[in-house]
């Protein structure tokens, strides 16, 4: 028994050693990704700042520049002025975006992200441990019209420490190690203090981006102030009735819902105007009887209906009325469900980001018709509904049913002819016998 245990022990020892090596490899890998970034005299450690510009899908990247500043924090752990004076100042660095920067869009969230890196290259003239705070400067992008654009800047703060050594032969100094920590998150909440990897091109330098990331969120809309001007209408949902006996005073009900772009954290309240050829005509009849409180008046004296994202609003439209949104951001989505009305056959033509979708949407007489979910693009967006009333003759016959009536008449005539022919044949046969 003892002999068997002695033979088994080397195997156990080898297994334990292999397990330990594997654990060390996993630990080393994790440490390499999120721990200190190390370099050498010939290949010093370097750090890059990544600016991640997020926006709704379909949005053209704005031509914008963003700047990051460095604040001296400590030298060799000392924060007194005498220590800080020994630290070199690191000049602000800037990253610039162009409208040709496409980035990539997440199919699940609908967020378009455009990353850009800028390398930080400080110059050190002595050994030591140099620690700085890094923050983003606010309001570096000029917004021409706050009603049409928003730029949410990152509130993040990072701490970066450079461990500087002297080169062999006293030929200068190099950064052997960089340690970077998250102090404040993008949204301004306290960071975890976790270490991140600021290596240019990602942890392995494989062409992604560094972990020292500042996230900004950008939105835009292409609307204007006056909702009666087609060029100012971000989304237009129109109603037309057709047919000789269609009722042009009749209201048709729509269930309308708007989904905010994913880059916006809070739900949004949008303005919906009802317009016709005479101007803005928003009135109590355009909403349900218990919802008249959602009708407001804008700063120009025009009435509108408040529609909050994440909810469904019942909107009533009659002939030649248009439901207009001027303030939807690119990347928002809408759904309009027309409720079926007896005697009327619905049809809708969808225009999405300037392109007419074919074929038109249709439903049977008296049935509901939904646009489905459509993305708001930078160009024209509309849903043009037509409800055609069944045609009626003065005798009260519905012309829409005439083909079916004719089939019945023909069938009845054929049956009568068949009976007459058979009766005649029977009569002839009887007379001969």
The fold adopted by the segment(s) 35-220 is Immunoglobulin-like (2.60.40)
188-212 burial string, b = 16+ CB within 10 Å, else e? eeebeeebbbbbbebbeeeeebbbb
Q: What is the bridge-based pairing of β-strands 333-338 and 344-352?
A: unpaired
Tokens 């630990």 appear where?
27
Other Cβ atoms closer than 10 A to 274: 26
Angle at 128 between CA 123 and CA 133, to 5 degrees: 65
Give the burial class of 327: count Cβ atoms within 10 A of its Cβ; 0-12 exposed, 13-18 middle, 19 or more buried. buried
Q: Is residue 7 within a helix (H) or strand (E), and if so which, with residue range?
A: helix 2-34
Other Cβ atoms closer than 10 A to 230: 13
Other Cβ atoms closer than 10 A to 113: 15
Domain ranges of the chain: 1-34, 35-220, 230-389, 398-422
* Token pair in block for residue 77: 């752990």
Domains 35-220 and 230-389 share a fold: yes
- Whether 74 and 139 have beta carbons less than 8 Å apart is answered as no
- Whether 191 and 184 have beta carbons less than 8 Å apart is answered as yes
Closest CA to 370 of 252, 286, 256: 256
pLDDT at 432: 52
- CA dist 162 and 174 (Å) reads 10
* Token pair in block for residue 124: 């050190």
Q: Is residue 409 within a helix (H) or strand (E), and if so which, with residue range?
A: helix 402-432
- Whether 75 and 162 have beta carbons less than 8 Å apart is answered as no
DSSP secondary structure of 265-277: -S--EEEEEEEET
- CA dist 201 and 113 (Å) reads 16
- CA dist 62 and 146 (Å) reads 14
Other Cβ atoms closer than 10 A to 222: 19
Closest CA to 362 of 333, 340, 378: 340
CATH number for the domain running over 230-389: 2.60.40.1140
Other Cβ atoms closer than 10 A to 375: 18
- Residue ranges in the chain modelled with pLDDT below 70: 1-35, 204-207, 392-433
* Token pair in block for residue 60: 């053209």
Other Cβ atoms closer than 10 A to 266: 6
- CA dist 90 and 120 (Å) reads 9
- CA dist 217 and 69 (Å) reads 20
């Amino acid at each position: 028994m003892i002999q068997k245990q002695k033979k088994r022990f080397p195997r156990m020892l080898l297994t334990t050693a292999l397990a330990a090596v594997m654990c060390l490899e996993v630990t080393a890998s994790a440490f390499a990704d999120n721990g200190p970034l190390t370099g050498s005299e010939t290949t010093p450690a370097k750090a890059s700042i990544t600016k991640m510009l997020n926006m709704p899908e379909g949005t053209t990247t704005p031509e914008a520049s963003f700047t990051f500043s460095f604040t001296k924090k400590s030298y060799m752990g000392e924060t007194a002025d005498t220590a800080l004076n020994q630290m070199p100042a690191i000049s602000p660095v800037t990253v610039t975006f162009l409208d040709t920067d496409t980035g990539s869009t997440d199919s699940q969230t609908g967020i378009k992200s455009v990353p850009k890196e800028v390398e930080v290259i400080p110059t050190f003239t002595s050994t030591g441990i140099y620690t700085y705070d890094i923050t983003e400067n606010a309001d570096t992008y000029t917004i021409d019209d706050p009603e049409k654009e928003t730029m949410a800047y990152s509130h993040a703060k990072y701490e970066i420490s450079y461990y500087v050594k002297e080169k062999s032969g006293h030929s200068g100094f190099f950064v052997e190690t960089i340690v970077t920590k998250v102090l404040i998150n993008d949204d301004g909440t306290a960071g975890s203090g976790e270490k991140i990897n600021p290596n240019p091109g990602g942890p392995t330098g494989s062409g992604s981006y560094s972990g020292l990331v500042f996230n900004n969120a950008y939105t835009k809309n292409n609307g204007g102030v006056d909702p009666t001007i087609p060029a100012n209408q971000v989304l237009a949902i129109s109603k037309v009735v057709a047919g000789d006996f269609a009722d042009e005073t009749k209201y048709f009900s729509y269930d309308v819902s708007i989904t905010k772009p994913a880059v916006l954290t809070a739900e949004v309240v949008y303005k919906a105007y009802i317009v016709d050829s005479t101007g803005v005509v928003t009135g109590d009849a355009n909403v349900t009887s218990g919802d008249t409180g959602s009708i407001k008046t804008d700063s120009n004296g025009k009435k509108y209906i408040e529609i909050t994202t994440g909810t469904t609003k019942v909107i009533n439209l009659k002939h030649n009325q248009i439901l207009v949104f001027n303030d939807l951001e690119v990347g928002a989505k809408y759904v309009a469900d027309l409720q079926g009305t007896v005697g009327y056959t619905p049809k809708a033509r969808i225009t999405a980001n300037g392109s007419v979708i074919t074929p038109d949407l249709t439903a049977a007489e008296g049935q509901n018709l939904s646009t489905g979910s459509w993305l708001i693009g930078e160009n024209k967006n509309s849903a043009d509904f037509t409800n055609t009333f069944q045609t009626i003759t003065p005798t009260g016959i519905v012309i829409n049913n005439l083909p079916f009536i004719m089939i019945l008449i023909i069938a009845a005539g054929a049956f009568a002819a068949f009976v007459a022919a058979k009766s005649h044949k029977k009569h002839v046969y009887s007379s001969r016998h």
